[in-house]
Structure 1
Amino acid sequence: MTTTGHAGGDPFAVDSDEGWAWGLSAFAGVMLAAIASMQILEGISALAKDDVYADAGNYTFAANLTTWGWIHLLLGIVGVIIGIGIVARQGWGQIGGIVIAVLAAVANFLFVPYYPGWALTLLAFNLLLIWALTSQFRNRPARHR
């Protein structure tokens, strides 16, 4: 199959490598938007009611839950925008997705003492997302050879 449509050919024909790459990229974009939506909800619940989450006690990275709420809310909003950019095949989407997934993974790791189950679930999804986005690089030709 060819990757370009031409007269008499199927304009939607793609080779199997490109189809696999686009499928994985679409998965990553949708997954990022879903994870980011969950982060938005996590942030809103921390902002709305400070006693929703457990007391972290003597935690090294302890912060006011309102601060954590804003962190999760902002990461979530940016993540939804980048997820939409990935699905729309924007060039900035893949790199932006990796950056936001790394930041969200770190934020969720630091949030573990407040809500362990949820934070570890989002951490695992962020790591899956990082894998999905970085595995796309092997399918791209090098610019300078």
Structure 2
Amino acid sequence: MAGAHASGTDPYPGMAPVANYGPPPSVALTTSGFAGTMLIMASLFQILQGIAAVAQDTVYLTGVEYVYQLDMTSWGWIHIVVGVVALATGIGILTGRTWAYLMGIVLATLSSIANFAFLPYFPIWSGIVIAFNVAVIWSLCTLLASDNPA
């Protein structure tokens, strides 16, 4: 079927073709948005977890002898520090900073390890934070793999 205009002529003179505007948002943009949002949420959960441990030691169960047993105040500060650094990194991921991608993987891993060690004290909350961190690690690894194909 023949088109409405002759081949080689511009149907909309004076307008730039759509191809000059660039491709639609890529998977990398949505993946980094997901990773940044999830890391921010996990870091806020971790900060709240740390504040509860520092403010009142009796919030968490401490009756069990455990290999990674620390004072609740120490656990609280560990969670607060990791959470604040992860929050800044999550903001860095959302703003597209390249340093934040690898730092996000490292911090999500550290946060997962800290929450794994904290499981006997508050298992459901720690499990939720670990799940969020696994989603962050997966999405950032997917993002880095799509940016740097082997």
User: Could you say whether these structures have the same fold, taking a TM-score greater than 0.5 normalized by the shorter chain as the test?
Assistant: yes
Q: CA deviation at 1:136?
A: 1.1
Runs of at least 5 residues in structure 2 that lack an aligned partner in the other structure = 1-14
Who is 2:145 aligned against?
Answer: 138
Residue 13 in 1 paired to residue 22 in 2? yes
Q: CA deviation at 1:137?
A: 2.0
Runs of at least 5 residues in structure 1 that lack an aligned partner in the other structure = 1-6
* Larger-Rg structure: 2
Which letter maps to 2:144? F
**Moved segments of 4+, more than 3 Å:** 9-13
TM-score normalised by L of structure 1: 0.86
Which letter maps to 2:30? G
Pair 51,21 (structure 1): closer, same or farther in 2 beyond 3 Å: same
How many residues in Structure 1 have an aligned counterpart in Structure 2? 135
| Higher relative contact order, chain-length normalized (CA < 8 Å, sep 6+) | 2
98, 114, 125: which one aligns with 2:132: 125
Q: CA deviation at 1:99?
A: 0.5
Who is 1:110 aligned against?
Answer: 117
29, 35, 45: which one aligns with 1:38: 45
TM-score normalised by L of structure 2: 0.83
